[in-house]
Structure 1
């Protein structure tokens, strides 16, 4: 009888512990989901001024980077703030290396990519995109006073050492320059600026806002705009929000973007160029 009672007591206690564990887990999961539903997690490099950069405080509307003492500012941050507001959610910036943005999105670590990313056909095979929130043409960043500052066409860069960011269409268009010395792609714009300053390269391919930003931040840099420039598609020169395939956020985000006029977008970009940290 004693053994029977002990056995029943063991079963009872085990059952209570199991139910207690399940209840606890359920509450934790529910809390996590609730928290996630109130937060819009956006991935960006925070190293591509004036689209996005890293700074030490919250001046000029910068947003604190998740798990970091620093803040993110720039055009992308301002657009992300408007999207989050339209969704009624709190914006969370997740600083992510460029090559890690798409994996972070597809694995669910972030809800969207707002990082000056172009909706190329290659990327569309893996993720979805919203309507564009900025459009710009390709230019070249070179040394001010150097032999390439006065260039007006691609042919002027024959023999020049040119590079662009790794895994971007910027790097592929270098092949359109006859006789160019196509240098190894670099992982970030700050790296390319250092290489240009030191003479390792003669120039790098960029979008106009970044080039304006570079020349504003460093008096030794100049932007070259082309009369006869790179051949690109509309998707190449557009910038859009990256989303998971089939994401139900697209319609809501597009509605918010549609409410930002072209004039306001340019005003936001002009402010971003003006507000960028001097080092970027």
Structure 2
């Protein structure tokens, strides 16, 4: 399905979901570990941001190719606040385009996954741009922009694994499979009913190491992360089911969008207007670039 057509479907469904709707994966978001910013400052354009003249986004900075940490500002990376390091990846490059359109300088607040939405709520960050899906559960606490990426689920495995040739979920019988905690991946993981479901893990770096060492046989991920893992680690591949056997997902789950504090409607509108100016071709090119530039592991 073409990106614009699928985005239209996602947006239609998203409008049907109240921002206070029940549902989602039931995951709870813990309080942000950083202290809230003192007070917001108005930019010349009337936008309310954490710091005047800057657009501050929250992310883990360890989910390539969506985001990662690096030691310099090469390839249009953004500084991570309070550190001498920088963040890069697809989320960063999309955020750079948004920030430029808004006339702001981009900076990053690096936080654990569970602290991302609370960072927006508390005023630590203006946006979350971290490969985050606009699920009904998350919409209870934050609002979301239009999608800026669409994905699908796969299972990352080793090339020499017996599961590398799997065609259906049932082919993962007795496989030790996991997913990242507090994501819809962990909810979809339960659809592998014949597998030996493992406790969810904290992040993709941990899961990659667990797969390399043989602790697990695979982990559920989005296809773009599967491509990233395949390119970054020798001997990794991923299983992508055909349409008849694919994971059942909500369209909002496979969309990636920016989280915005409830009530900050001006920033939401400005972000959406900026995103509309980025073509499908440019988005695809940015993702291809991110996959090529991602860290080796």
TM-score (normalised: structure 2)? 0.82
Q: Does 1:120 align with 2:118?
A: no
* Structure 1 residue 37, shift from structure 2 partner: 2.4
* Larger CA deviation: 148-157 vs 108-117: 148-157
2:260 to 235, 243, 248: 243
The structure carrying a bigger helix percent of its residues is: 1
Q: How does 1:257-276 map to 2 (within 5 A)?
A: 257-276=275-294
CA-to-aligned-CA distance 1:108-133 (integer Å, 9 cap, x gap) = 10010000000001101111000000
1:170 to 182, 185, 207: 185
CA distance in 1, matches of 2:40, 2:247: 51
**Structure 2: 5+ residue runs without aligned partners?**
1-37, 44-49
Q: Does 1:66 align with 2:84?
A: no
* Larger CA deviation: 269-278 vs 61-70: 61-70
**Structure 1: 5+ residue runs without aligned partners?**
1-28
CA distance in 2, matches of 1:57, 1:65: 10
Q: Are residues 118 and 162 of structure 1, via their aligned partners in 2, closer, same or farther at CA, if it must alter by over 3 Å?
A: same
1:235 partner SS: coil
CA-to-aligned-CA distance 1:148-171 (integer Å, 9 cap, x gap) = 111121111121111100100100
Please report the RMSD computed on the Cα atoms of aligned residues, expressed in angstroms: 1.6
TM-score (normalised: structure 1)? 0.87
* Structure 1 residue 33, shift from structure 2 partner: 6.6
Q: How does 1:1-280 map to 2 (within 5 A)?
A: 36-227=51-242, 228-248=245-265, 249-279=267-297
CA distance in 2, matches of 1:206, 1:247: 31
CA distance in 2, matches of 1:31, 1:126: 19
CA distance in 2, matches of 1:185, 1:217: 22
* Structure 1 residue 174, shift from structure 2 partner: 1.2
For these two proteins, the number of residue pairs brought into alignment is 251
